[in-house]
């Protein structure tokens, strides 16, 4: 063989340069103005060119001696990857699927954490109740006076009762109060998630102290013979609100567990998996907080009849459990099938790529 022939990488580059430049142009456009700026033909062309570029890159890495060529292909492939896989464009019905299929499915997958979260909240309530049975003065230790608004052991029974039924005439101010409560609760819920990163310990403490507050309230009204009325007042908005607190707690505990007990995965991978899983749960919980805020601001003080309140509570329990524990089961099966098809598709495409 004569030594004067062109290096193979020269021919390799000559054959493919045109495609690379075309990919470069499309990538540039997509990165600058978004995928939306590409027309149908270009959108079709982009992944084809991208895969050809990936194939060129892996061939060049193995056989080419021209470092500038390899560096160029590395950069081009990276840019094209960002354009192609940057983020998924939203499809029709994505929000509906996220809320009614993805969210409940992920909640159900958190079985153990949900139980633990509920348990911690209940434990707090039981502890507060027991201690207050011994000494009612414990109330001050459990309930933040700013949130109690005068509802404490030193108030008369009449004051406590009126706190449950008055306020219908405040009208508009209630809306502001509801917004305030929504924002306040949602912030605490998001915090529950983020604090899961400290091995879940602050999340557990937060759940427990919220339970203490709840137990203290229940005991206070129980001691005045107003428990039935309090529960009627509490449940309509309490179902979505306490439910959302439990969900956020479970999400935080899930992250904590992923750090402490990563199982066979690396801690990094386990953490990222748990974080993504919990993120959707928390996002759904924020929606629940918003619903609770609406119920609290609009219905609670306007509906003062105990029977109506219990009816509303029952209705809320019904949709709450239907949403979290029934919705999306059919979608789950469809999703599995769709993923199977996708995986096979990737395999086929992989087998189809040939280069040099």
Partner 1 sequence: MRDEVELSIVGPEGVPLRFPAATIGERAMALGLDLLILFLALLSVGIGLVAMGAFTGLVSFLGLALIAAFLIQHGYFIFFETHWQGATPGKRLLKIKVISRDGGGLRTDAIIARNLMRDVELFLPLAIVGAPEQVFGDAPWWMLLPTILWLLAMMLLPFFAKERTRVGDLVGGTLVVRIPHAELVRDEAARTSLVPDAPDTRDALAFTLAQLEHYGERELEALADLMRKHEQGKASAEDLRVVARTIAQKIGFGGPLPTSEPARFLRTFYKQQRAHLERKLLFGRRKSSKFDG
User: Which of the residues 32 through 71 are near partner 1 (CB under 8 A)?
Assistant: 34-35, 51, 54, 57-58, 62-69
Q: Which of residues 169-228 bind partner 1 (CB under 8 A)?
A: 172-173, 175-180, 182-183, 186-187, 190-191, 193-195, 197-198
Contact call for residues 54 and 27 (beta carbons, < 8 A): no
Percentages helix, strand, coil for the chain (3-state, rounded to 5) are 80, 0, 20
Compute the least distance from the CB of residue 200 to partner 1, in Å.
Answer: 13
Contact call for residues 152 and 220 (beta carbons, < 8 A): yes
Q: Which of residues 246-275 bind partner 1 (CB under 8 A)?
A: 255, 268-269, 271-275
Q: Does 77 bind partner 1 (CB under 8 A)?
A: yes
Q: Does 99 bind partner 1 (CB under 8 A)?
A: no
Please state, in angstroms and as integers, the Cα–Cα distance from residue 233 to each residue in 81, 151, 181, 197, following that order. 55, 14, 16, 35
Nearer to partner 1 by Cβ, of 65 and 302: the residue is 65
The tokens of 164 are what?
């449950």
Compute the least distance from the CB of residue 14 to partner 1, in Å.
Answer: 7
Q: Does 20 bind partner 1 (CB under 8 A)?
A: yes
Distance CA 117, CA 281 (A): 14
Q: Find the part of the chain contacting partner 1 (CB under 8 A) among 80-88, 132-140, 149-157, 229-237.
A: 80-88
Compute the least distance from the CB of residue 8 to partner 1, in Å.
Answer: 5
Distance CA 258, CA 265 (A): 9
Q: Find the part of the chain contacting partner 1 (CB under 8 A) among 11-19, 215-223, 226-234, 237-245.
A: 11-19
* Residues near partner 1 (CB under 8 A), total: 84
The site string for partner 1 over 275-304 (x = CB under 8 A, - otherwise) reads xxxxxx-xx---------------------
Distance CA 272, CA 262 (A): 11
- DSSP 8-class letter at 168: G
Compute the least distance from the CB of residue 290 to partner 1, in Å.
Answer: 9
Within 10 A of 27 (CB to CB), how many other CB atoms are there? 23
Contact call for residues 237 and 296 (beta carbons, < 8 A): yes
CB burial of residue 103 (10 Å; 0-12, 13-18, 19+): buried
Q: Does 344 bind partner 1 (CB under 8 A)?
A: no
Compute the least distance from the CB of residue 2 to partner 1, in Å.
Answer: 7
Nearer to partner 1 by Cβ, of 129 and 182: the residue is 182
Distance CA 235, CA 178 (A): 16
Of 26, 46, 79, 292, the one binding partner 1 (CB under 8 A) is: 79
The tokens of 25 are what?
């142009």
Compute the least distance from the CB of residue 67 to partner 1, in Å.
Answer: 5
- Under 8 Å CB-to-CB from 89, ≥6 apart: which residues? 35, 36
Compute the least distance from the CB of residue 63 to partner 1, in Å.
Answer: 6
């Amino acid at each position: 063989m004569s030594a004067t022939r062109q290096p193979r990488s020269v021919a390799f580059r000559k054959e493919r340069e045109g495609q690379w430049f075309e990919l470069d142009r499309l990538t540039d456009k997509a990165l600058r103005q978004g995928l939306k700026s590409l027309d149908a033909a270009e959108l079709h062309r982009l992944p084809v060119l991208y895969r050809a570029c990936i194939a060129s890159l892996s061939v060049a890495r193995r056989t080419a001696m021209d470092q500038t060529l390899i560096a160029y292909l590395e950069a081009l492939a990276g840019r094209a990857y960002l354009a192609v896989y940057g983020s998924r464009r939203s499809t029709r019905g994505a929000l509906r699927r996220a809320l009614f299929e993805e969210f409940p499915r992920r909640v159900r997958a958190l079985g153990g954490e949900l139980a633990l979260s509920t348990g911690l909240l209940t434990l707090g309530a039981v502890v507060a109740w027991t201690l207050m049975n011994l000494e009612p003065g414990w109330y001050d230790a459990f309930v933040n006076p700013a949130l109690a608004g005068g509802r404490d052991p030193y108030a008369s029974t009449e004051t406590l009762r009126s706190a449950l039924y008055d306020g219908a005439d405040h009208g508009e101010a209630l809306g502001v109060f509801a917004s305030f409560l929504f924002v306040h609760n949602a912030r605490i819920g998001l915090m529950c998630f983020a604090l899961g990163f400290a091995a879940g310990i602050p999340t557990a403490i937060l759940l427990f102290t919220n339970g203490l507050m709840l137990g203290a309230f229940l005991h206070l009204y129980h001691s005045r013979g107003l428990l039935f009325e309090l529960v009627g007042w509490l449940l309509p908005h309490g179902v979505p609100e306490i439910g959302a607190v439990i969900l956020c707690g479970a999400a935080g505990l899930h992250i904590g567990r992923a750090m402490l007990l990563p199982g066979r995965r690396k801690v990094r991978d386990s953490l990222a998996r748990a974080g993504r899983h919990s993120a959707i749960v928390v996002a759904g919980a924020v929606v629940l907080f918003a619903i609770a805020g609406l119920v609290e601001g609009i219905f609670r003080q306007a509906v003062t009849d105990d029977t109506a309140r219990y009816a509303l509570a029952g209705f809320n329990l019904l949709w709450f459990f239907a949403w979290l524990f029934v919705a999306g089961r059919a979608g789950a099966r469809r999703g599995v099938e769709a993923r199977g098809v996708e995986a096979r598709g990737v395999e086929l495409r992989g087998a189809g790529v040939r280069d040099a």
